[in-house]
Amino acid sequence: MLRAALNNALVLTSLASTSLLGLPCLAAGVTAEVSDVATLTPNTPHRFFTGGFREPGFIIFDGDSGKMEGSIPAGYIANLAIAPDNSQFYVAETYWAHGARGKRDDMVTIYDAKTLNLVKEIMLPGRALVSRKQNFDINAAGSRAYVYIMLPVASVVWVDLKKQSVGGTVEIPGCAQVFPWGEQGFSSLCGDGSLASVTVPASGPAKVTHTKPFFDANSDPIFDDGFVDRATGKAIFFSYTGLVYEAKLGPESTISAPWSIQKAAGYAAAGTGVQELAWRPGGAQLAAFHKASGKLFVLMHPGNFWTHKHGGTEVWVLDTKTHALVSRFPLRAVPSSGLGDDAIPYYMNIGVSQDAKPLLYLLNDQGNDVVMDATTGEQLRKIEFAAGNNISVPGY
């Protein structure tokens, strides 16, 4: 053994000497690796991003191939926003000096969208550590960011992205989430069933208005994973039973009478009985909206009331203009659902690209993630290495 070790040492010394003399020391036919630094091409309509809860960053994917293109580092329970001109990525995140303890830093971090280089860290007075996509968002112009916090009460910090500094804090007691509209406003869902709308001028006090309560948080709550078209203020919210509330957000927000997903499909509206079996919406990110067509893609499953955390066994495509069901896409079973039934897929997240030939992106908690044709429901390809509970797409 000693002789073998000495022989190996002599061989390594000989190779090192050869290398120092400038002579090649690689075996014939072996090419030396050359390091380089890649850059991202500009965002395409079929690029999408996953990450957030329990993930150490956001992964960037090409929907046309399902392949990973890059990653954006992030801290604990982070949120992602994409600049309207696709020039920058914004991450709301939290770090502790010693892993899970020590000094805590909350921040909005700006990354260059081409190089993924760090541009700026904007320190925040706090941040709500809850895995919800609408805890953080930017306005349509990309000039402001809104961060939901809980210091000293439920509040929203607004960030001036042009000056790259905190602009101020607005208290919204009893309310949560941020749904931006216009240049200087956002709305939040409130526990009393109302919607708070906040106008935040560049200087001076903010103005807060409330709608009348439009849902009952005890009998039929609202999913907080609704969404808003930031340019128009059109928002859509869903109740646990499957009611769809369409709203026009602004200084005085208005909410239309709800319509039923089940009735759109020709069924009776689902009720709140714990033994009542019906098709119901559910998941972590349960729906996606294609702005140009007005189509709504919702993850649906058969279950009773309070199964809202179950994901979808089907995707239902609904027309928000006619309140009619357009298509139903059954989802393939996957090896394990994590809920005790290996034959049920339970896809938990859905996103849709915003182009004329849209793709659907679906995430499953077991990593069986797929890309589908949003028109036909055909499964086109699998997604490699996808994870997290948020899907973000450019142009939304």
User: Which domains does the chain carry?
Assistant: 43-392 (2.130.10.10)
The predicted pLDDT at position 2 comes to 37
Other Cβ atoms less than 10 A from the Cβ of 346: the count is 25
Residue 6, pLDDT above cutoff 50:
no
Instruction: State what percent of residues in the chain have pLDDT above 70.
Output: 89
Residue 37, pLDDT above cutoff 90:
no
Residue 336, pLDDT above cutoff 60:
no
Which two tokens mark 306?
């309070």
Other Cβ atoms less than 10 A from the Cβ of 378: the count is 10
264 φ/ψ angles, rounded to the nearest 5 degrees: -60, -25
**CA–CA separation, 145 vs 120, rounded Å?**
14
Strand partners, 21: none
Residue 132: which of 180, 80, 86 has the closest Cα? 80
DSSP result, 256-291: PPPEEHHHHTTSPPP---TT--EEEE-SSB-EEEET
Residue 15, pLDDT above cutoff 50:
no
The predicted pLDDT at position 54 comes to 64
* Average confidence (pLDDT) over 352-373: 92
Do 234 and 244 contact (CB within 8 A), yes or no? no
261 φ/ψ angles, rounded to the nearest 5 degrees: -60, -45
Instruction: State what percent of residues in the chain have pLDDT above 90.
Output: 76
Half-sphere exposure of 266 (CA within 13 A, CB side): 4
The predicted pLDDT at position 245 comes to 98
Instruction: Write the single-letter amino acid at 334.
Output: V
Do 212 and 168 contact (CB within 8 A), yes or no? no
Do 190 and 179 contact (CB within 8 A), yes or no? no
**CA–CA separation, 125 vs 155, rounded Å?**
11
Half-sphere exposure of 174 (CA within 13 A, CB side): 12
Residue 290, pLDDT above cutoff 50:
yes
Which is more confident, 265 or 20? Answer: 265
Strand partners, 329: 315
Instruction: Write the single-letter amino acid at 323.
Output: H
Four-residue CA torsion sign, 259, 219, 364, 330? negative
Q: What is the pTM of this model?
A: 0.88
**CA–CA separation, 354 vs 48, rounded Å?**
11
Which two tokens mark 11?
């061989």
Instruction: Say which DSSP state 64 is in.
Output: T
The predicted pLDDT at position 33 comes to 78
Residue 327, pLDDT above cutoff 80:
yes
Which two tokens mark 13?
């010394």
The predicted pLDDT at position 4 comes to 44
pLDDT (tens digit per residue) in 135-150 = 999 999 999 999 999 9
The predicted pLDDT at position 367 comes to 74
Collect all residues with Cβ–Cβ distance below 8 Å to 171 and sequence separation of at least 6.
Answer: 153, 154, 155
Other Cβ atoms less than 10 A from the Cβ of 97: the count is 9
Instruction: Write the single-letter amino acid at 279.
Output: W
pLDDT-based confidence at 26, cuts 50/70/90? low
The predicted pLDDT at position 28 comes to 65
pLDDT-based confidence at 5, cuts 50/70/90? very low
pLDDT (tens digit per residue) in 86-123 = 999 999 999 999 988 999 999 999 999 999 999 999 99
pLDDT-based confidence at 14, cuts 50/70/90? very low
The mean of the pLDDT values for the chain is 89
**CA–CA separation, 213 vs 191, rounded Å?**
9
Cis bond leading into 152, ω under 30°?
yes
pLDDT (tens digit per residue) in 159-209 = 999 999 999 999 999 999 999 999 999 999 999 999 999 999 988 899 999
**CA–CA separation, 274 vs 294, rounded Å?**
32
**CA–CA separation, 196 vs 209, rounded Å?**
6
Do 70 and 116 contact (CB within 8 A), yes or no? yes
Do 293 and 304 contact (CB within 8 A), yes or no? no
Residue 355, pLDDT above cutoff 50:
yes
Residue 3, pLDDT above cutoff 50:
no
